[in-house]
Structure 1
Amino acid sequence: MTRLADEGDDPYLWLEDLDGADAARWVRDRNAETVAALTGSEAFAGLRAEIRQVLDAEDRIPWPGWRGDGFYYNFWQDATHPRGVWRRTTLDQYRRREPEWDVLLDVDALAAEEGENWVWNDVTVLRHGYERCLIWLSRAAATPPWCASSTWCAVPSSRTVSRCPRRRAPPAGSTPTTSTSPPTSGPAR
């Protein structure tokens, strides 16, 4: 008969204490070893430079999403905006070689203004009028998203943004609003 291990038999049980100093130190040490092993070669430096060149290329084609309000929305990251900008344009502008974009949220400017390490997560837009949305941001990539409520009209200067109480993003597909943001222009940074 197989005997179930009791907790005293597990030499790694201390790792389950997610807030414990010993477990955190062990994870930091393993992470440092892994980062050194993966990034310590000249090949890595060359590959990183090539990837950065592709991600920051100015000739990338923006991949917008349409929400039903006559605008095409896009979340864009490049060398100038590593955190990204959420923006929109009209179909006529999008068809041009260099479209004019209305920037709805500049995550880099917001992060600098507030002294926070904001990271874009998502946006949820309320249907029927498409004038209100919840923008989900995280402090760094490791924390649960926060939301900011935003209202905008046809005139960008009339746009207002207000903070929601601190709360987590709803589970995917659980809100009765239009879905999430259009696909990003590339991988998150």
Structure 2
Amino acid sequence: MRHVAFDCLRTALSHKRTDAAVTDDPFLWLEEIEVPSALAWVRAENEKTLGVLQSDPRYRRFYEQALSILQSKDQIVDIPLEGRGLEHFWQDENQVRGVWRRTTPESDRTQDPKWETILDVDALAVPRTGIGSFKVPAAFRFNSASA
């Protein structure tokens, strides 16, 4: 499944959207992830949703279980085999927005794999003009343990 998501991401990034596709999206303005109006809208929607979720008696247990899994340092990384090595998208407390990286099969079998950075989204997010946003495929969003 992650192989499919990775291929979809690569395909999506390689195609340009048409003007019609851009103007037909009423939520396009939310892609500017650090604009105050977008942040305010997201906070308001999160508050509505959180209220509904927290009203469920199972919420606290599910929340604690999910947080424990996401923060675990013991996770096994699912790395799809690609043409130039093993590539995957990684997020943790040091790479909040994430890093797309690559290693060799040989290095991956060691205790301390050597990673080559393909795209460091955190480095791209350093304030400067002209920054866009990078959307992580859903299949890659659960890799939150550190390498």
**Length-normalised TM-score, structure 1:** 0.42
Q: Distance in 2 between matches of 1:92 and 1:47?
A: 38
Structure-1 separation of matches of 2:142 and 2:63: 15
From the superposition, tell whether residues 117 and 42 of structure 1 become closer, same or farther in structure 2 (CA, over 3 Å).
farther
The equivalent position to 1:97 in structure 2, one of 100, 105, 111, is 111
1:110 aligns to what?
124
Residue in structure 2 matched with residue 61 of structure 1 by the alignment: 76
The structure, 1 or 2, with the larger RCO (C-alpha pairs under 8 Å, 6+ apart) is 2
Shift in alpha-carbon separation, 1:31–1:68, aligned structure 2, 3 A = closer
Provide, for residues 32-79 of structure 1, a one-character-per-residue CA deviation record: whole Å limited to 9, x for no partner. Answer: 54431213578635533432231132221111122222x110111222
Structure (1/2) with the larger strand percentage: 1
In structure 2, give the amino acid aligned to 1:57: S
Are residues 1:38 and 2:53 paired?
Answer: yes
8 Å Cα contact 1:75-1:84 kept in structure 2? yes
Quote the RMSD (CA, aligned, Å).
3.6
Unaligned runs of 5+ in 1: 1-17, 20-27, 123-182
Residue correspondences, number:
102
Q: Structure 2, unaligned stretches of length 5 or more?
A: 1-25, 28-42
Tell me the TM-score normalized by structure 2.
0.51
